[in-house]
Structures are given as structure tokens and as C-alpha cells.
């Protein structure tokens, strides 16, 4: 009797779509890292560029620094065949997606693709609406590892339901695929997406500027500071396996070196996915040095997976903290202004209490070594005040390394 009941409940589970609608767990214990074609190439993407990017990811040291996913964004799609299966654009991807996935995998990397929950993508290619299970099957057969799923042309659709359908389709296709939810924060995905996807966009699109709004007519894209400010209040929703996504990186896409450094630092403080968006085959050494800074990446990828928070602001300077493993902390001081600012900080006067993670720095009782993550300089300990000058649109980012004493 017991056995029959167990078998029956197994059957019920298999027949219950809600049971499929759970994502593949364990795919994103830390924020995903990789590259995506959109920010630099937009619709002008082809297989030669993807192969060259995968090569560059290895040669530049990015793979060894933790970058894994090579994601082809919009405009790879051609038409559907007579049976409804999506085909890559035959002119841009003549070898097909399976061969491209094999090539990317052979370099120790993973392949990502883009689709859309609506009838058409934002770039007016076929979307997945009505073809979700069929498309997921194609992705699985090709060896795709990551799907960015957009939200254009979705009139009449319920966002949670639409993303649940694609999560269920991926689960049914059987290949573990990261689901990157891209509905721009319109329907508060942080409130419902944790069981469905591994990351969700919190805002509209980023633009390669520090503090601007780019007007596209019926929508706007936003500079780094605007996107940063829109993250307010969201940290409670992020953690291992489910991340707030403030959009892909614009490092190397035209901002100043200081701005690129500030952007990368703040994304690390946010435990954001680090998805490079520049042309990896033609990067300046300064761009590369920012993208592969291992100590900054370690802040982003810290195993605790606690998103950082704005602790305080004084004039144009903001102080952010992020708890790290081993009792360490990251601190980033962001200069929002274009002019140089002076910082003087007496650690013992700072009360840093992260109620969400139940962690306190306790600077009066605990000692930390202070390490500058951009210069690599040892700045002494928290026994003495920190004095620094921070250039316009730049940061001072340090790791506070807990020095244990005999009482610990
Ligand atoms: C939307 C997304 C972008 C990009 C484009 C592609 O705007 O938010 O990140 O994927 O579509 O068309």
C-alpha cells in the first residue's frame, strides 16, 4: 500500500507542471561571470565574433579570473523551420549553434543565448511565445548553458507566469541552464523570481556613461550612478543562487578609467553578475586590468553572497560596506562628483551594523588590516585613521582583513 502511494505521488509530481517550474539549483552559488555581446556589438553579432571573443577570454586571463559564460544576445535568430524549431541566422551563424557551443566548450567556457517571452525579441527576431518547450529543447540539444530571457512584445502576458513557463521548459529539456530573467524590474521580479531564475534584471538598460539618462523616445537607458541608486532596498532579495542584476558591465565602452573602476567596484559591492560588455578582442590594458582584478572579483564572488549596502554619505562621498567570509569586510568609498575629494576616517567613530546579515564591524573592539584593492597597497590597520584623496568619479576600495586576537 505504502509503495503504491509513493509511486502515485511520484506520478502526480511528474504530471504537475508546478513541480517542473523549479529551476536547476546549484548553478549560480556566486553571481554569474561572463561576457555578453549586446553592450558593444548590439545586433551586429556573428559566429566569428563569438569565437574570437572566446579566444580573447582565455588569452586575456579573464577565464582564469573566473569569467565563464560567452552569451550571444539578440539577433542570432533566423526563421523557424517547418516544424517550428528555431534556426540561427544562416548568414551570421553558418556552422550552427551546436558547433559553436562545442568550440566554446573546448576552451573551458560555456555558451549563453538570448530569447524573449513575447512574440518577437526587442531586436524584432522571433520570440519564444508559444514555442517555449520547443526552444528549450533546441537549446539543450545544442549544448547551451545560459539563457537570457527578455520581455519585449509581451502584451497580455503575466511576467511571473511567463518566466515560470520557460523555467519549466528548461527543466523538462533536462540540461542545466542558468535562467537570466530580463524584465527590467517592471513587475518586481525580486518578489517572485527566486524559485524560477538565477538572476533578474532590476532596472532598464545601462548606458556607457557615469551619470546620464539616454532618451530613446518611449524608453530611457541609464548611466552607472542612476542604476546604482535604483538598487536601493533590494539587497534583502539576493543571495546564493538568486541575484539582483543591475545590468551588464560597460567597462571599456567609453567611460574614463576612473569611471570604469568605480562602476566595476560598485557592481562587486552589489554582488552583481559580472558580465563584461566590451570588445574583448581589442581591449586596452587598463580595461583588462580592471576586469581581471582578482581581489575586487573576490569581493563580488564572496561565498557568503551578501549584497553590500550604502552605509552613509557625506557630500559627494558615499561609504558602502559588504560583509565577507572570515569576518572580513569590503568598504568602498565612492566619489560621485567630478572633482577630487578628501577623506578622513576615524574607524572607531563608524558604527557599521548589518542587521540583515547580523554582522557588525565593532571597530572599537576588533582590529582589521586595511588593504587597497586597486593599488594593492597595505594601508596599515584600523588602529590609525584612514586619510585619502579620491579623484572625481573614482573610488577607494579596501578589504578589511580581520586580525584575530587571543580572545577569538
Ligand atoms: C533589451 C534588453 C537588453 C538587450 C536588448 C536586445 O533592451 O534589456 O539588455 O538584450 O533588449 O534587443
CA distance 301 to 34: 13
For residue 122, the CA-to-ligand 1 centroid distance in Å is 6
Which of the listed residues 40, 74, 183 should we mutate to test ligand 1's pocket, taking the one with most ligand atoms within 8 A of CB? 74
Question: What is the CB neighbour count within 10 angstroms for residue 6?
Answer: 10
95: phi then psi, degrees, rounded to nearest 5: -80, -10
**Ordered per-residue pLDDT tens for the chain, 408 residues:** 444 444 444 444 455 555 555 899 999 999 999 999 999 999 999 999 999 999 999 999 999 999 999 999 999 999 999 999 999 999 999 999 999 999 999 999 999 999 999 999 999 999 999 999 999 999 999 999 999 999 999 999 999 999 999 999 999 999 999 999 999 999 999 999 999 999 999 999 999 999 999 999 999 999 999 999 999 999 999 999 999 999 999 999 999 999 999 999 999 999 999 999 999 999 999 999 999 999 999 999 999 999 999 999 999 999 999 999 999 999 999 999 999 999 999 999 999 999 999 999 999 999 999 999 999 999 999 999 999 999 999 999 999 999 987 666
Catalytic residue among 145, 205, 300, 328: 205
- Could you give the C-alpha distances from 154 to 126, 141, 389, in angstroms and in order? 12, 26, 49
Position 363 scores a pLDDT of 98
The grid coordinates listed for 401 are 582583513
Which residue, by CA, sits nearest to atom 11 of ligand 1?
Answer: 122
190 C-alpha to ligand 1 centroid (Å): 19
pTM (2 decimals)?
0.95
Pocket of ligand 1 (CB under 6 A): 38, 73-74, 114, 121-123, 150, 182, 205
Q: Which residue CA neighbors atom 4 of ligand 1 most closely? A: 38
pLDDT value of position 13: 47
Q: For residues 180 and 32, is the Cβ–Cβ distance under 8 A?
A: yes
247 is catalytic: no
Q: Whose CA is nearest to atom 8 of ligand 1?
A: 205
Task: State the distance from the centre of ligand 1 to the C-alpha of 208, rounded, in angstroms.
Answer: 14
Which pLDDT does position 8 carry in this prediction?
Answer: 47
Ligand 1 atom closest to Cα of 182? 8
CB neighbour burial string for 253-290, b if at least 16 within 10 angstroms, e if fewer: bebebbbbbbbbbbbbbbbbbbbbbbbbeebeeebbeb
Q: Is 153 a catalytic residue?
A: no
Amino acid at each position: 500500500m505504502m509503495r503504491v502511494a509513493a509511486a502515485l505521488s511520484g506520478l502526480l509530481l511528474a504530471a504537475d507542471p508546478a513541480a517542473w517550474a523549479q529551476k536547476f539549483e546549484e548553478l549560480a552559488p556566486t553571481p554569474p561571470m561572463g561576457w555578453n555581446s549586446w553592450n558593444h556589438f548590439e545586433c551586429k553579432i556573428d559566429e566569428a565574433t563569438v569565437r574570437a571573443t572566446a579566444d580573447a577570454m582565455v588569452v586575456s586571463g579573464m577565464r582564469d579570473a573566473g569569467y565563464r559564460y560567452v552569451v550571444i544576445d539578440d539577433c542570432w535568430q533566423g526563421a523557424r523551420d517547418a516544424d517550428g524549431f528555431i534556426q540561427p541566422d544562416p548568414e551570421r551563424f553558418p556552422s550552427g549553434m551546436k558547433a559553436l557551443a562545442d568550440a566554446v566548450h573546448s576552451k573551458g567556457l560555456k555558451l549563453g543565448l538570448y530569447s524573449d517571452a513575447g512574440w518577437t525579441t526587442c531586436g524584432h527576431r522571433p520570440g519564444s511565445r508559444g514555442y517555449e518547450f520547443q526552444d528549450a529543447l533546441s537549446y539543450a540539444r545544442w549544448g547551451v548553458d545560459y539563457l537570457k530571457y527578455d520581455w519585449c512584445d509581451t502584451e497580455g502576458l503575466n511576467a511571473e507566469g511567463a518566466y515560470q513557463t520557460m523555467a519549466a521548459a528548461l527543466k523538462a529539456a533536462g540540461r542545466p541552464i542558468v535562467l537570466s530573467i530580463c524584465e527590467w524590474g517592471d513587475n518586481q521580479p525580486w518578489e517572485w523570481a527566486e524559485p524560477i531564475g538565477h538572476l533578474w534584471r532590476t532596472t532598464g538598460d545601462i548606458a556607457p556613461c557615469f551619470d546620464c539618462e539616454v532618451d530613446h523616445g518611449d524608453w530611457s537607458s541609464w548611466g552607472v550612478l542612476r542604476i546604482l541608486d535604483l538598487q536601493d532596498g533590494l539587497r534583502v532579495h539576493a543571495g546564493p543562487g538568486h541575484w539582483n542584476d543591475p545590468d551588464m558591465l560597460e567597462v571599456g565602452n567609453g567611460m574614463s578609467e576612473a569611471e570604469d573602476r568605480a562602476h566595476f567596484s560598485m557592481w562587486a559591492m552589489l554582488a552583481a553578475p559580472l558580465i563584461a560588455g566590451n570588445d574583448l578582442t581589442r581591449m586596452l590594458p587598463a580595461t583588462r586590468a580592471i576586469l581581471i582584478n582578482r581581489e575586487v572579483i573576490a569581493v563580488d564572488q564572496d561565498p557568503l553572497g551578501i549584497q553590500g549596502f550604502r552605509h552613509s554619505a557625506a557630500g559627494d562621498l558615499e561609504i558602502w560596506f559588504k560583509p565577507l567570509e572570515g569576518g572580513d569586510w569590503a568598504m568602498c568609498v565612492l566619489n560621485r562628483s567630478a572633482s577630487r575629494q578628501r577623506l578622513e576616517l576615524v574607524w572607531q567613530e563608524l558604527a557599521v551594523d548589518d542587521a540583515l546579515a547580523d554582522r557588525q564591524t565593532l571597530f572599537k573592539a576588533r582590529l582589521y588590516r586595511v588593504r587597497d584593492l586597486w593599488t594593492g597597497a597595505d594601508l596599515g590597520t584600523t588602529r590609525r585613521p584612514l586619510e585619502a584623496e579620491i579623484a572625481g568619479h573614482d573610488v577607494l576600495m579596501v578589504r578589511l582583513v580581520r586580525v584575530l586576537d587571543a580572545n577569538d
